Amino acid sequence: MHIQELVAVLEAQHIAGGHNANIKKLVFDSRKATGSDDELFIALKGLHHDGHQFLAQAHATGIRNFLLSSKADLPESNQIIVPNTLTALQSLASKHRLQHTYPVVGITGSNAKTIVKEWLSTLLSQKWQVVKSPKSYNSQLGVPLSVWEMNDQHEIAVFEAGISASGEMQNLQQVIRPTMGIFTNIGEAHAAGFANQAQKSREKALLFSTAENVIYRYSHHIVGDALTYHQHPATSWDIHCPEAAINFEVQGSTYRCTYQGKSLKLNIRWTNAWDIENLLHAVVAAWLLGESPEEIQRGIDSLKPVPMRLELKRGRNHTHILDDTYNNDLQGLSTALDYLKQQPAQKQRTVILSDILQSGKEPTALYQEVNTLLKNHEISRLIGVGSALQKHQHLFEIPSTTYSTVDDLLRATPHFGQETILVKGARDFGLEKVVRYLEEKSHGTVLEVNFESIQHNLSVYRQYLQPGTKLMVMVKAFAYGVGTEEIANLLQYHQVDYLGVAYLDEAIALRESGIQLPIMIMNVSWEHFELLSTFRLEPEIYSLSMLKHYLEVCPDPMPIHLKIETGMNRLGFEYEELSEVITLLKANPSIKVAGVFTHFSSADSQEEDGYTQQQGERFEKACQLLSNALNYAPLRYAVNSAGIIRWPQYHFDMVRLGIGLYGFDSSGSTQALRPISTLKTRISQIKKLPAGATVGYSRKGKITQPSEIATIAIGYADGYSRLFGNGNAYVLINGQKAYTIGNVCMDMTMVDVTGLNVKAGDEVIVFGEDPSIADLARWSQTIPYEILTNVSQRVKRVFVSE
């Protein structure tokens, strides 16, 4: 769509400074911009971000086309001015959608939208060229970005749509305009935005006002009621249910049905009830769209579990691996490259890529486009796997090596070190073998950390801040046991103001990994003061002797943060000492006080509110004294996570976010936080034991009736306390509680799985949503901080992003 057409569609003001470019790519993050002539930068506004603040950066990349809500100083650029840029984006996508007449499937529901979309796309690709939503792009922003990818080479589209409040679905309906719909289910997700489940179902069903048919499971009666309410034409399906329009009769792995004189017989190897439901949604849609049983069966046979997310893992030789090995198409490659670009800039970026199958493009044009993507994302080198990449290797303008197979690549043992590696491949190529080869740890126990949950929690706390209040985030103690480098990089990407660590080695590691944010260190060994300026680090100074030593050994001192004692009685200057502090600072004008802070002892405790107020008053008094004497005002900060919510009058110039980022509010003041991590392991073995047998060390586990006992691969060396043994805790296996039996061992724990129908290799949830870290803390009579920070360094960390 050319610039002049965009202006006409949006009825926008146009400040013409560039030529009538043909817009193909939409960009809303300046860090993902490539500067190509066909890009349009959309300056989106939100509660805590405004894309208009990054226009200069976007312009510097070479972008010359901008969608704005106010005029800006952007030389030689097209400025399209509209009242609301998100609404304008949706209008553009809606216009783009109307230019294509092939079938469009819209998917909504509380759960499984992405899985159904991915599986349906796989089934449909046996016959047609498919365009689909990348990842979980189902929001007010994600949907128009997805629909914009439609082009004339596609033959069918599959898009998902999600809402969190009343009034949102009408916007997405205008963008997607589905000709067929799938309503997966209705559940508790985003329940706070609706009066009840019936209202939420009806709101979601608004997506299908243009659909000729909507597929749903008959037993989901609330979904059927919502479709009936809107008088949408619908086709129900179910299993062993004659009332459903399409009734699957199942015998073993064989699924049979007849509908409108046509018969379908399939072999489905999946056994999990959720997987079956998701797959049959996709099967029914593909069948009604005109795929043959043979094509559908071929698609089913190629299906694999959908990770639905990018996984960032630590690799050997100081590498990080971005694991995206479940599919490979241009759309997904672009998304993964955008994510890769967010990683620390100092590291080399390598892409390991398989041939791209079934793209619908002529191979030379396809790999020229891949070359452009790699160049624009500043990829250092390409390692290709597959005959097509070997044949077209000459098209790549970055260093490249290609191999026929994954095994050939592994036998060549290329060197990897100090780099971030994107591994992206079509399933047939088996690039997961490369990931396993590169991974740092092969321990079966994994701490899975969800970046979206961290971003959500960060946003929750930012909503409490007054305009201009800065945010320091604590990443000490290995970022509360999660992973310092990865969390710090995410925080840098989301533009927090300061990071706080406990020790110098933590800070140096952050600098070495590419973190540029200001860093405050709480406990610096005096003998290492001279390293502070080398790495641009700001120390906490808490005593006169420490301040004097710092001034003696640091001729070019970094700015400092003065800790004031107000009642915690741990570290800090007493008020009476501040006159001497002032004298020292005035005698050494080269040193700047960047911040003055204190630590409230009981900000989370309502019964101690009087004491907290006393601390606040003492702190204000000390800050006033220092500011008057120094003739400038250092940053003042006092409150921690609980205080951010409970004590807005003490936000001052900056707040200090710690455990709240990781999903815990010790004050109980908010229910909006999300758990960020899940500790997972596997069943190693299951034994059938008779009554009278015992389990584990000291024979503490007594078997009173014939039982099945599973050994799971986690023990106290992994951070799973011995206090959890002997039935004091449970784990979750396939959604079922399994209580511990016997003592927890160093590397293993035993749980009772009698009657649970589980097997060796099944996934075990040690903590997550259920049981939660708060549950484990209660069982062991401690606090969530200790549970989280106790997770051993030998446990593999995997960082996932939708």
For the annotated binding site for substrate, the residues are 570, 746
> What is the CA 591 to chain-centroid distance, rounded?
40
Alpha-carbon span 716 to 725, nearest angstrom: 10
Residue 403 designated active-site: no
Q: Which of 41, 64, 65 is nearest to 54 (CA)?
A: 41
Alpha-carbon span 319 to 316, nearest angstrom: 6
Question: Of 117, 476, 563, 680, which residue is the catalytic one?
Answer: 476
SS3 of residue 474 by DSSP: strand
Q: Bridge partners of 678?
A: 448
DSSP assignment letter at 555 = S
H helices, E strands: number in the chain: 26, 38
DSSP assignment letter at 76 = T
> What is the CA 406 to chain-centroid distance, rounded?
28
Alpha-carbon span 387 to 496, nearest angstrom: 45
- Under 8 Å CB-to-CB from 763, ≥6 apart: which residues? 680, 681, 682, 733, 734
Q: At residue 659, what is the residue type?
A: I
Residue 161 Cα distances to 142, 147, 567, 656, angstroms = 9, 11, 52, 36
**String of DSSP letters for 405-456:** SHHHHHHH-----SEEEEEE--GGG-THHHHHHHBS---S-EEEEEHHHHHH
User: Which stretches does DSSP call E strand in 459-502?
Assistant: 470-474, 498-501
- Tabulate helix, strand, coil % of the chain (nearest 5): 35, 25, 40
Residue 697 designated active-site: yes
Q: Under a CB-based contact definition with an 8 Å cutoff, are residues 413 and 401 in contact?
A: no
SS3 of residue 733 by DSSP: strand
Torsion, Cα of 576, 581, 584, 590 (10° steps): -160
Alpha-carbon span 223 to 200, nearest angstrom: 10
Alpha-carbon span 346 to 246, nearest angstrom: 56
- Give the count of beta carbons closer than 10 Å to the beta carbon of residue 573: 24
Handedness of CA 179, 185, 186, 190 (dihedral sign): negative
Alpha-carbon span 781 to 775, nearest angstrom: 10
Crossing angle between the packed helical segments 609-630 and 578-587, to the nearest 10 degrees = 30
DSSP assignment letter at 409 = H
Q: Bridge partners of 798?
A: 313, 448
Alpha-carbon span 556 to 313, nearest angstrom: 39
**How far is the first Cα of the chain from the last one, in angstroms, to the nearest whole number?**
29
Question: Of 259, 503, 575, 697, which residue is the catalytic one?
Answer: 697
Q: Under a CB-based contact definition with an 8 Å cutoff, are residues 208 and 183 in contact?
A: yes
- Under 8 Å CB-to-CB from 53, ≥6 apart: which residues? none
Q: Which of 302, 294, 485, 623 is nearest to 286 (CA)?
A: 294
Please enumerate, by residue number, every residue annotated as part of a binding site. 570, 746
* CA angle, residues 20, 26, 30, in degrees to nearest 5: 105
* CA angle, residues 25, 28, 32, in degrees to nearest 5: 75
- Give the count of beta carbons closer than 10 Å to the beta carbon of residue 589: 8
Residue 301 Cα distances to 153, 296, 304, 354, 706, angstroms = 26, 9, 9, 21, 39
Alpha-carbon span 758 to 682, nearest angstrom: 11
Alpha-carbon span 64 to 408, nearest angstrom: 44
- Residues assigned a catalytic role: 476, 697
